[in-house]
Amino acid sequence: MRSHRRVTLPLCFAEALRRRAALRTTGYVSLLVAGAGLILIGFFPTDPVLGFPAGAPTTVTTIGTVHSLGALVVFVAFPVAAFAAVSRRAPGWSAFSVATGVLSLVAVGAFFAAVEGTAEGADSLAGLYERLPTLFIGLWQIAFAVRVRTAHAN
């Protein structure tokens, strides 16, 4: 049950930002797309890759492909939302949002490079690179929520 709450949080976050008029339509839609993508990848498990889990054959399945495409949507939609949060009135916030989007996309690119460049069963940094966008976007969402909440309290 907890995992369902976790994947629907971006949808709630998007709606809260919309209600506070804190994000343009592009950002709102991007967060909705990311939330829908998270729900999608929750229903479709990934295929084994790079020897994990140990002993599992590496095969490409339709279910795994849906998961991978959904993950790609998520990893693009969140940076788009960060880019949409840029505001001329808040240069520091804008720089943070742009940095978040760029770092997230760079980490996604590093993930694909690591997966393609790693031999089956060899050690790889792909798992780290896959998680970095989640860290960057998670911190951005927390900062955005605090920013909006603080601005509303004043």
**Shortest CA distance to 18 belongs to which of 84, 91, 102?**
84
Which residue's structure tokens are 């008029």? 21
Q: pTM of the entire structure?
A: 0.86
**Please, is 117 exposed, middle or buried when counting C-beta atoms within 10 Å of its C-beta (0-12, 13-18, 19+)?**
exposed
8 alpha carbon, distance to own chain's centre? 13
Condensed to tens digits (0 to 9), the pLDDT of residues 12-64 reads 999 999 999 999 999 999 999 999 999 999 899 888 776 666 666 678 889 98
